[in-house]
Amino acid sequence: IINDSLGHQTGDELLIEVATRLKASVRAEDTVGRLGGDEFVVLLENIADDVSVLPVVEAIKKQFGRSFLLEGREIAVTASIGIAFGDASRDQADSLLRNADLAMYRAKAAGKGRHVIFDSSMQVDTLARLELENDLRAAIDGGQLRVHYQPIVPLKSERVTEVEALVRWQHPTQGMISPLDFIPLAEETGLIIPLGLWVLKEACRQAAIWHAQFPIDPPVVISVNLSPRQFQMPDLAEEVERTLQEAGLPARYLKLEITEGTIMLDVEATISTLSRLKAIGIKLAVDDFGTGYSSLAYLKRLPLDVLKIDRSFIKGIAENAEDKAIVQAILLLAKSLNLEVTAEGIENAEQAAMLNSWQCERGQGYYFARPMEADKATALLGR
Ligand code: C2E
Ligand code: CA
Ligand code: CA
């Protein structure tokens, strides 16, 4: 089973192209069909072990290595592949499909463009997952979610001028669950839409309180993460505008963070959504910059304000020549595109000093502060 979110790109033309490439990856006697949505099924006859299936997997990955050209637009499509072996005769076809589906979701969770072979331990996981999904649904309505705030500071002054809102889930029996464990689930199930709106509302409400409390100049900016699915909401700009109005927060004090992956889902649609947000007066940042595949040519067409360098590059800048070179190159690129830079994951004074000496504007990381509850952040802002 092949699946990766094609977003609102699931037009006929793209689906046909996907099917064509799948067909080109298999033998003449194999079957390619669409399961629905962005899921396809590939039935390989007389292939019953890991070793013989791998060349097919490689062939499929190769087909998806080239981006798709549709009406002059370049679209990157990845394939998450779940594999199950078995007898596809009538009585077993259902469980074969179900197992392949489970493996596919595993592949997806591991990152795009991967393949996973089913094994029976995954069935247990499904139950746990279902339970987690129900719990998350209850958490959104039941007030178990919290927003923590992590300071972002100008490297020159280290005074807090910005905070990033990071969601936390206080589970009634499992304790604090990391967003890394429930955001992907929320994204897959669509729960990210109500969850994300809740975070946005809460963060704007808190930011408005801080503004009233500390009429500092420049006032604190609040940064909120948007997942791919949230970003594709047709009425995103209206929702954001309404939220700002309800909170009484001027748009220029809100920054939205989207990842490179989100941008590249559909560059033309991204430009139009970002432009609408920009028109409201919101600041826009690319999150985890350097980890995705954003094309530099597109970058200059997007109305962006900030690049956030992913913490995986910051980690090694003091010891590793490559990391240092990458970070310096990103800083140069940002300068030439007129973008500001925030370095993520700064964990020590040496990293902060190096980045400052390279004219990196802002930093975020445990060295300055960990994400904290609102009242702790209030105390920091009031200093
Ligand atoms: P992110 O957007 O890259 O957020 C930064 C993450 O890095 C946070 O993890 C933060 O605690 C962590 N971090 C900050 N400084 C350091 C450091 O110096 N060292 C290390 N090792 N880590 C540091 P957190 O809070 O666990 O969030 C993880 C991810 O979950 C976020 O990564 C973001 O992608 C997602 N996320 C969190 N809240 C939301 C939300 O409200 N909406 C959406 N869509 N995603 C969210
Ligand atoms: Ca972020
Ligand atoms: Ca990040």
Tens-digit pLDDT profile for residues 293-340? 667 778 888 999 999 999 999 999 999 999 999 999 999 999 999 999
Q: What's the pLDDT score for residue 3? A: 56
Element (H, E) at 341: strand 340-343
Identify which of 371, 377, 334, 370 has the alpha carbon closest to the alpha carbon of residue 355: 334
Contact, 168 vs 179, CB < 8 A? yes
Q: What pLDDT score does 10 carry?
A: 56
pLDDT at 139 over 60: yes
190-197 long-range contacts (CB < 8 A, ≥24 apart) are 190/229, 191/133, 191/136, 191/137, 191/140, 192/227, 192/229, 192/230, 193/229, 193/230, 193/233, 194/140, 195/136, 195/140, 195/145, 195/167, 196/226, 196/227, 196/230, 197/239, 197/243
Comparing 125 with 189, the larger pLDDT belongs to 189
**Mean per-residue pLDDT for 220-248?**
96
Name the pairing type of β-strands 306-309 and 362-363: unpaired
DSSP string, 127-171: HHHHHHHHHHHHHHHHT-EEEEEEEEEETTT----EEEEEEEEEE
Which of the residue ranges 144-158, 224-238, 284-298, 369-383 would you say has the lowest mean pLDDT? 284-298
- How far, in Å, from the CA of 175 to the mean position of ligand 1? 18
User: What is the interface pTM, i.e. ipTM, of the complex?
Assistant: 0.98
Phi and psi at residue 82, to the nearest 5°? -110, 135
* Token pair listed for 186: 């929320």
pLDDT band at 227 (very low <50, low <70, confident <90, very high): very high
Copy the structure tokens of residue 56. 């097919």
Which ligand 1 atom is the nearest neighbour of the CA of 187? Answer: 44
Q: Which residues contact 147 (CB under 8 A, 6 or more apart)?
A: 165, 166, 167, 168, 199, 202, 203, 206, 374
Residue minimizing CA distance to atom 3 of ligand 1: 288
- What pLDDT, on a 0 to 100 scale, did the predictor assign at position 35? 83
Mutation pick for ligand 1 pocket among 187, 225, 258 (CB with most ligand atoms within 8 Å): 225
Question: Which of the two residues, 207 and 300, has the higher pLDDT score?
Answer: 207
- Helix then strand count (H, E) for the chain reads 15, 16
Residues 314 and 351: their CA atoms lie apart, in Å, by 7
- Number of C-beta neighbours around residue 136 at 10 A: 21
Copy the structure tokens of residue 154: 């100008």
| CA 375 to centroid of ligand 3, rounded, Å | 23
* Torsions phi, psi for 190 (to 5 deg): 90, -10
Judged against a pLDDT cut of 80, whether residue 241 lies above it is answered with yes
Closest CA to 362 of 203, 161, 210: 161
Q: pLDDT digits over 14-68, tens only? A: 888 889 999 999 999 999 998 877 889 999 988 878 888 999 999 999 998 888 8
Q: What is the mean pLDDT of residues 264-270?
A: 86
Please report the atom of ligand 1 found closest to the CA of residue 367: 18
Q: List all residues whose CB is within 6 A of at least one atom of ligand 1.
A: 150, 166-167, 178-180, 183, 196, 199, 225, 227, 287-288, 311, 345-347, 364-366, 371
User: How many Å lie between the centroid of ligand 3 and the Cα of residue 319?
Assistant: 22
Average pLDDT over residues 224-243: 95
Closest protein CA for atom 20 of ligand 1: 345
- Model confidence band, residue 237 (pLDDT cutoffs 50, 70, 90): very high
Report cis status (omega within 30 of 0) of the bond before 234.
no
Task: Name the pTM for this structure.
Answer: 0.77
Question: What ligand 1 atom has the least distance to the C-alpha of 147?
Answer: 41
* Cα of 288 from ligand 3 centre, angstroms: 4
What is the band of 6 on the pLDDT scale with cuts at 50, 70, 90?
low
pLDDT for 264 equals 82
pLDDT at 355 over 60: yes
**Domains in the chain and their CATH numbers?**
2-119 (3.30.70.270), 131-381 (3.20.20.450)
Query: What's the gap in Å between 344 CA and the centre of ligand 3?
Result: 6
Pocket test for ligand 1, best of 162, 166, 181, 182 (most atoms within 8 A of CB): 166
**Mean pLDDT, the chain, integer:** 90
Give which of 58, 7, 3, 4 is closest to 228, Cα–Cα: 7
**378 conformational bin, left if phi > 0, alpha if psi -120 to 50, beta if neither:** alpha
Which ligand is the nearest neighbour of the Cα of 228? Answer: 1
Rounded mean pLDDT, 168-181: 92
Spacing, Cα 364 to ligand 1 middle (Å): 11
Nearest CA to ligand 1 atom 43: 225
- Ligand 2 centroid to residue 250 C-alpha, Å: 21
**% pLDDT > 70, the chain:** 96
Quickly count: other Cβ atoms within 10 Å of residue 281's Cβ. Answer: 13
